Amino acid sequence: MAVNLEVNLGGLIMKNPVTCASGTFASGHEYADFVDVARLGAVTTKGVSLNGWTGNPTPRIAETPSGMLNSIGLQNPGVQTLMERDVPWLKEQNATVIVNVSGHSLTEYVQVVEALETCDGVDAYEINISCPNVDSGGLTFGTDPEAVNAVVSECRKRTKRPLIVKLTPNVTDITVIAKTAEAAGADALSLINTLLGMAIDPYKRTTILARKVGGLSGPAVKPVALRLVWETHNAVSIPLLGMGGITNGLDAVEFMLAGATAVAVGTANFMNPHATIDVIEGITSYCEEQGVQDVNELIGALK
Amino acid sequence: MERLGDSKMTCVLERKAQIKTNKHLTDHLYVMELIVEDIPSLVLPGQFVHVQIPGMEGHILRRPFSVYHTKQSENKLTILYQIVGFGTQKMTTLGAGDTVDVMGPIGHGWTIPATCQSALLVGGGVGAAPLYMHAQELYKADVSVDVVLGAQTEAALVCKDRYEALLGQSVPCSTDDGTYGYHGFCTDLVSKSLDKRSYDYVACCGPEPMIKAVCAITLDRGIPTFVSLEKRMACGIGACLSCVVETTNGLKRSCVDGPVFNASEVIW
């Protein structure tokens, strides 16, 4: 029995429900020894800003129980490099491409999307609203409904491509932000971004990360992510791209049961460089074993 | 910024490796022999392997280890490691027959400068190991090689015999506690060596403060110097941007752009 794995994430047709989480896979080239990127439902590229950012000082990571903290600071070479170097490479490999868009101001998000509109190889956008907004003293866009509305509606005006909005879990009620993004024109939502955390070296009496706090990811966050996907699924009608600690096919199936149409594999890529492929194969085996003919049957199928 | 392709020297493989021996040498130092297909014959001097240690599921990241030496006929790859945290502590409990997952070979290792005639290799502590295959290669290339080693104690000079056997001469050593050789830091021995004869190339690996001190001496004398830098890393293949090093040519990734860097481009 051949299982249908194709899903439609807000207008983005994915050959299977699996992509990589932005920032864990660069633009795919680094994983080419382990993964044929054309096999993925999509490749989500590392967050890109207008002219590039140098990122944060090191140490940028800390291993924590069943997870890790990172404060890379969205180091990236800017949208021009992505368009000239990374997107053409991905297209040569026949990959489906989601570009993760970052900005420190409303204007920057808009300018990045406008630049990418001139690039044929981009199949969808994922707007990372977890960036600090320099215009409002560094407050994260994604925690403020007004800022979310502004970013999403301005990006919406500039593109007909599928627009995915990536939500931060560091809010009191994620459904408020989710509904705001939906009303502002998002085609899909992705969640969760990392949870803010901290690691301390008791002997040095310092934080391990140079920036003191960072984003927690990995298996440790999976229960939190599942709960947030489920809550969001019950609150909006647009499809969800679920992520947070997925390392195998069964993890992915759990996210789909909670309401995700597609899933992203993030930190697991660091543990196992072919984790994305393992997740695709794991979903397929689950469907075969369970007599599921179409993976879409799993979406929100929690009893 | 790097261009595509720059970061790839060879294909990175992932293989299951079987531990042949895991021997306690002294205090915090262990040497582990791994039997693994393909990787030993591909490793270039100064490259590393990224190892997933079994039985510590709560600790999800791999650990990078420079390759000490290889024996291709036996598919053998040897790493010298020091207990620095949970992962390396856990490694000490593994034994013959245990399996670890190994990615490698990774990174830009040492390269012999085209005109190199006399090289000085400086290894501090566990940093003596990543230089050994480079010494072998220089020796084979008929480059005159001198080695200076430093460690905390005589017992911690665990690579000395191997270097002396390779070079057929005794290797000047320093110990912090004076139990062997020069009582003090190996940087003093570096200055002495440079006073005695001229070198046109220096390669250095060890704790970062020691590398910095050595470079201050060698770069001041205008000697091309290369260093192996170890940074906290996650993916080990250039994707996560955890292990960046500040250089005069922008941020570089110690995993794939390094771990060996031209010291003159590193911003300390």
Domain that residue A127 falls in: 7-55+74-196+217-298
In a domain, A236, yes or no: yes
pLDDT at B242 over 70: yes
Gap between the Cα atoms of A259 and A226, Å rounded: 9
Gap between the Cα atoms of B136 and B147, Å rounded: 12
Gap between the Cα atoms of B91 and B100, Å rounded: 10
Q: What are the tokens at B176? A: 């912090």
In a domain, A150, yes or no: yes
Cβ <8 Å between B60 and A31: no
- Of 2.40.30.10, 3.40.109.10, 3.40.190.10, 1.10.3210.10, which CATH number belongs to B13-106? 2.40.30.10
pLDDT at B6 over 50: no
- CB-based burial label for A172 (10 Å; 0-12, 13-18, 19+): exposed
- Of 2.60.40.10, 3.40.50.80, 3.40.50.2000, 3.30.70.20, which CATH number belongs to B118-265? 3.40.50.80
What per-residue confidence (pLDDT) applies to A243?
98
Chain A and chain B share a number of CB contacts under 8 A equal to 97
pLDDT at B8 over 50: no
DSSP code, position B149: E
The alpha carbon of residue B14 is apart from the nearest alpha carbon of chain A, in Å, by 8
pLDDT band at B7 (very low <50, low <70, confident <90, very high): very low
In a domain, A1, yes or no: no
Chain B residues lying within 8 Å of A72, measured CB to CB: 240-242
What per-residue confidence (pLDDT) applies to B210?
97
Cβ <8 Å between A30 and B237: yes
The domain tally of chain A equals 1
Q: What are the tokens at B267? A: 């911003």
Gap between the Cα atoms of B195 and B100, Å rounded: 46
Cβ <8 Å between B237 and A65: no
- Residue-wise pLDDT for B25-56, tens only, equals 998 999 999 999 999 999 999 999 999 999 88
A190-A98-B10 Cα angle (round to 5): 120
pLDDT band at B4 (very low <50, low <70, confident <90, very high): very low
Chain A residues lying within 8 Å of B13, measured CB to CB: 33
Gap between the Cα atoms of B158 and B175, Å rounded: 12
Cβ <8 Å between B61 and A24: no
What does the mean pLDDT of chain B come to? 94
CATH 3.40.50.80 residue ranges in chain B?
118-265
In a domain, A92, yes or no: yes
CATH 2.40.30.10 residue ranges in chain B?
13-106
Cβ <8 Å between A30 and B238: yes
In a domain, A35, yes or no: yes
Question: DSSP assignment of A152-163, as one string?
Answer: HHHHHHH--S-E
Return the half-sphere exposure (C-beta side, CA atoms, 13 A cut-off) of residue A64: 26
Identify which has the larger pLDDT, A267 or B86. Answer: A267
- Residue-wise pLDDT for B159-216, tens only, equals 999 999 999 999 999 999 999 999 999 999 999 999 999 999 999 999 999 999 999 9
| Active-site pick, A20, A131, A155, A287 | A131
Cβ <8 Å between B239 and A33: no
Chain A residues lying within 8 Å of B103, measured CB to CB: 273
Closest partner residue to A273 (CB to CB) among B232, B237, B244 is B237
Cβ <8 Å between A273 and B14: yes
What per-residue confidence (pLDDT) applies to A176?
98
Mean pLDDT of A130-144: 83
What per-residue confidence (pLDDT) applies to B9?
54
pLDDT at A296 over 80: yes
The alpha carbon of residue A271 is apart from the nearest alpha carbon of chain B, in Å, by 5
- Residue-wise pLDDT for A245-254, tens only, equals 999 999 999 9
By C-alpha distance, the chain A residue nearest B2 is A77
Is A131 annotated in the active site?
yes
- Residue-wise pLDDT for B72-110, tens only, equals 999 999 999 999 998 999 999 999 999 999 999 999 999
Mean pLDDT of A154-164: 98
pLDDT band at A1 (very low <50, low <70, confident <90, very high): low
Helix, strand, coil shares of chain B as percentages rounded to 5?
A: 25, 35, 40
The alpha carbon of residue B125 is apart from the nearest alpha carbon of chain A, in Å, by 22
In a domain, A62, yes or no: no
What per-residue confidence (pLDDT) applies to B5?
40
In a domain, A212, yes or no: no
What per-residue confidence (pLDDT) applies to A138?
72
- Residue-wise pLDDT for A40-67, tens only, equals 999 999 999 999 999 999 999 999 999 9
Closest partner residue to A68 (CB to CB) among B11, B61, B251 is B61
Specify the pairing of strand A97-101 against strand A124-128.
Answer: parallel
Instruction: Please report, for the domain that includes residue A226, its CATH number.
Output: 3.20.20.70
What per-residue confidence (pLDDT) applies to B57?
77
In a domain, A208, yes or no: no
Q: Which residues of B touch A (CB under 8 A)?
A: 1, 3-4, 7, 11-14, 52, 57-62, 103, 231-244, 251, 256
By C-alpha distance, the chain A residue nearest B104 is A33
Beta bridge partners of B123: B149, B205
Q: Which residues of A touch B (CB under 8 A)?
A: 23-26, 29-31, 33-34, 46, 52, 54-55, 58-63, 65-68, 70, 72, 75, 77, 81, 85, 89, 218-219, 267, 269-274
What residues contact B65, with CB distance under 8 A and at least 6 apart?
A: B48, B49, B51, B79, B81
- Residue-wise pLDDT for B125-150, tens only, equals 999 999 999 999 999 999 999 999 99
What does the mean pLDDT of chain A come to? 96
The alpha carbon of residue B16 is apart from the nearest alpha carbon of chain A, in Å, by 13
What per-residue confidence (pLDDT) applies to A87?
98
Rounded to two decimals, what is the model's pTM?
0.94
What per-residue confidence (pLDDT) applies to B27?
86
Chain A residues lying within 8 Å of B14, measured CB to CB: 34, 273-274
Chain A residues lying within 8 Å of B256, measured CB to CB: 30
ipTM over 0.90: yes
Chain B residues lying within 8 Å of A273, measured CB to CB: 12, 14, 103, 235, 237
- Residue-wise pLDDT for A4-13, tens only, equals 999 999 999 9
